[in-house]
Structure 1
Amino acid sequence: MSEHVEPSPDQETSRELPARIVIPPIKGEMVHLRPATVEDLPKLDELDAYYNASRITGKDAQAERAVVHTWVRRSVAWAHGQAASESGVGDPESRRTIAWAVLTDSDHDDDGRIDAAETDNVIGMVFLIDVDGWARSARIQVVLGKDYRGRGYSRDMMPRVMTYGFAPEPAGLGLHRIWVAVPEKNTRSLSVYQSLGFVKTGSSRDALWDAENSRYQDLIVLDTLFDEYDPIRSLDAFGMHVIEDNPGMREALAIREHSIAIQQRRRDDDKTDKPAADDAARREAYEKIGVTPGSSRTVTDDAGKTRTDAASDETSNWPYGQSERKSSKNAWWRNLGLNRKRDTEED
């Protein structure tokens, strides 16, 4: 969440990231997130967070530890308004990263003590990596301690982080794409990401070494776009509840509610387009939450009817940059549960 309230036209044209970012805390039902610090890094060692890294990320433990340290230092530098070159790890591409520490107050073994008391409640980290202002893209990754995997923490935190990533500025980062890269043998993570709406878009053949089986394995790339991701339904899919004061959620709720109202009105009007009324009502909804809607363009179809892009059936739930976006007719939440196979193999 950048410090400026309204981006200037020059900033929008240049698509440059802000020089400094305010990393927001994010609340979940099982965990809560705060900006990660360099002081948190030794806690990951105590948590044995790099255990089985070759299976989960395809890297060996030493390499995984090195990149996590780099991500946290880049995140801290950005929060302090420092250039990427001032992060202490250097980066000729000036890549930006946001790192949150994942904390829990849970007592799963009912021994009367918080499970992660020894690490000040920290059980791992979650990252938005290589945040690209030009392409409005970022990669998401979760690192959890050995004893905190498979308990549903990722399902609690990831939809909320992605909501922040896709939300328009200043509520969020205004991303167009969030992607992940997963070793083919990590079927558990693949299942979680697909449940979130990520779609397999390709693979890098023999990109990783599988030390356990002494063979190469593919690296699977999955992504989801702003018009394919529904923040509310992603939480519903995992049985999680909306927390309204999380960054981006207020905007998501208002936009979703208004989108439903528009669809209902169209059904009542026998699918008759009313672009002017829809646009005015949409702007009224955004004004109530203090968000300026993105530009929309009027188009004429083959039948001579006019409509706005923002009012089409394939429209995004988000209000920004409609004229420069592609819309998906196969948005995951329109086809939830259809033709989707999910692996349940444990790590």
Structure 2
Amino acid sequence: MTETNETLSLATDAQLTRDLPHSIVIPPITGEMVHLRPATVEDLLRLDELDAFYGASKITGKDAATERAVVHTWVRRSQAWEAGQAPAESGVGDPESRRTIAWAVLTDADHDDDGMIDAAPTDNVIGMIFLIDIDGWSRSARIQIILGKDYRGRGYSRDAMPRVMTYGFAPEPAGLGMHRIWVSVPETNTRSISVYQSLGFVPSGTSRDALWDVENNKYQDLIVMDTLVDEYDPIRSLDAFGMHLIEDNPGVKEALSAREHSMAIQQRVAEPGAGEQSTAADESETSSEIAEAPAQPQSTSEQATTGTHTRSTDEESNWPYGQADRKSSKEAWWRTLGRGRKRDTEGE
């Protein structure tokens, strides 16, 4: 009888450790092109002004009215979690008690060089980014970004998404402690698929004929892509687009610590005879040495532009794309992309 009680107690403890917190403080996140703050119901009006649901059927496979309704629900769920309301109390709850976090995406950019912030009419808001279907039991979450019609194709999502993912993967309490982050995208939205691959997502499944392609009057597949915590590289996901980590962002220090520890282990294993000589103490000591080592110096231009963290490009990594697929900061295309013109490119 005692053994049975102990087993039940262990099972209960395991359940509790996988429960999401009753309430959450949604952290602001800073990027090089954008900054994020918790989204509000008032921001939903801005999305209409931005024509953010234009072309929804191409981007997410939903019609504009449905996409708008879903986004409104996500923002309210996010605010309910901030307020400490249970899913059933929020009025927009999830029967599986999954949670949502919504950030407003803001920019101070002046792409047309007219001396005015591009998004001034909407209080600098250009869209929203979400972690949705946050499942504490499986430690899984889905990420999605929505941008105003005139702010697509400029690289804003490439700045925001890796920083949100770093927070999502970082261990609690600095982050959400997720194991898996995933996306779903219509097969015809090849632009978004390319962006997600550049961020480290890999195809993991296909839902056949899951969506209706209204333009071509036929069904289309829904592609599911994901990345896992031990696969995600927070440095290269940004460096691929000429951007850098910002150490003050939530979860960054924890992500760097975990990455350095992993690299130390890889280095020890790669050394001749490491399999026979390596011990847990050796790994700990090696990790400590790397953590204390001075960072590689930044160029003057990089130091002036960002308060960021750099690492040697020759470091070992489980990043799924090779060095040839990355852009250095000297090729930071996003710094001038979109200047002097408006874009309505789909897919971000």
TM over 0.5: same fold?
yes
The reply to whether residue 143 of structure 1 matches residue 143 of structure 2 is no
The reply to whether residue 277 of structure 1 matches residue 281 of structure 2 is yes
Is the CA contact 1:255–1:286 (under 8 Å) kept in the aligned structure 2? Answer: no
**1:169-194 Cα deviation digits (max 9, x unpaired):** 11101101101110010000000001
Q: How many residues align?
A: 293
Match of 2:32 among 29, 32, 44: 29
Match of 1:43 among 46, 49, 53: 46
Amino acid at match of 1:236: D
- Higher mean displacement: 77-86 or 136-145: 77-86
What is the distance in 2 between the residues matched to 1:87 and 1:139?
21
What is the distance in 1 between the residues matched to 2:150 and 2:206?
30
What is the distance in 2 between the residues matched to 1:224 and 1:141?
14
Is the CA contact 2:268–2:283 (under 8 Å) kept in the aligned structure 1? Answer: no
Mapping for residues 261-340 of structure 1, pairs under 5 Å: 261-265=264-268, 267=270, 270-272=273-275, 273-281=277-285, 333-336=319-322
What is the distance in 2 between the residues matched to 1:265 and 1:90?
48
What is the distance in 1 between the residues matched to 2:204 and 2:262?
28
Residue 235 of structure 1 and its aligned partner are, at CA, apart by 1.1
Matched with 1:202 is: 205
The reply to whether residue 179 of structure 1 matches residue 182 of structure 2 is yes
Match of 2:57 among 54, 58, 64: 54
Is the CA contact 2:257–2:291 (under 8 Å) kept in the aligned structure 1? Answer: no
Q: Which runs of 5+ in 2 are unaligned?
A: 1-10, 293-316, 326-344
The reply to whether residue 255 of structure 1 matches residue 258 of structure 2 is yes
SS of the equivalent of 1:165 reads: helix
Distance 1:282 1:264, change over 3 A: closer
Is the CA contact 2:264–2:286 (under 8 Å) kept in the aligned structure 1? Answer: no
Matched with 1:131 is: 134
Matched with 2:124 is: 121
Distance 1:179 1:263, change over 3 A: closer
The reply to whether residue 189 of structure 1 matches residue 192 of structure 2 is yes
Amino acid at match of 1:245: D
Match of 1:71 among 74, 88, 96: 74
Residue 84 of structure 1 and its aligned partner are, at CA, apart by 1.2
**1:144-182 Cα deviation digits (max 9, x unpaired):** 000000000010011100000011011101101101110
- Higher mean displacement: 255-264 or 40-49: 255-264
Match of 2:98 among 89, 95, 99: 95
TM-score (norm 2): 0.78
Residue 213 of structure 1 and its aligned partner are, at CA, apart by 1.1
Amino acid at match of 1:155: R
Matched with 2:338 is: none
Q: Which runs of 5+ in 1 are unaligned?
A: 1-8, 289-330, 340-345
SS of the equivalent of 2:69 reads: helix
Distance 1:26 1:91, change over 3 A: same
Matched with 2:20 is: 17
What is the distance in 2 between the residues matched to 1:205 and 1:266?
42
The reply to whether residue 106 of structure 1 matches residue 109 of structure 2 is yes
Distance 1:108 1:10, change over 3 A: farther
Amino acid at match of 2:280: A
Matched with 2:89 is: 86
Identity %: 73
Is the CA contact 1:255–1:285 (under 8 Å) kept in the aligned structure 2? Answer: no
Amino acid at match of 1:131: I
Is the CA contact 1:254–1:285 (under 8 Å) kept in the aligned structure 2? Answer: no
Residue 212 of structure 1 and its aligned partner are, at CA, apart by 1.0
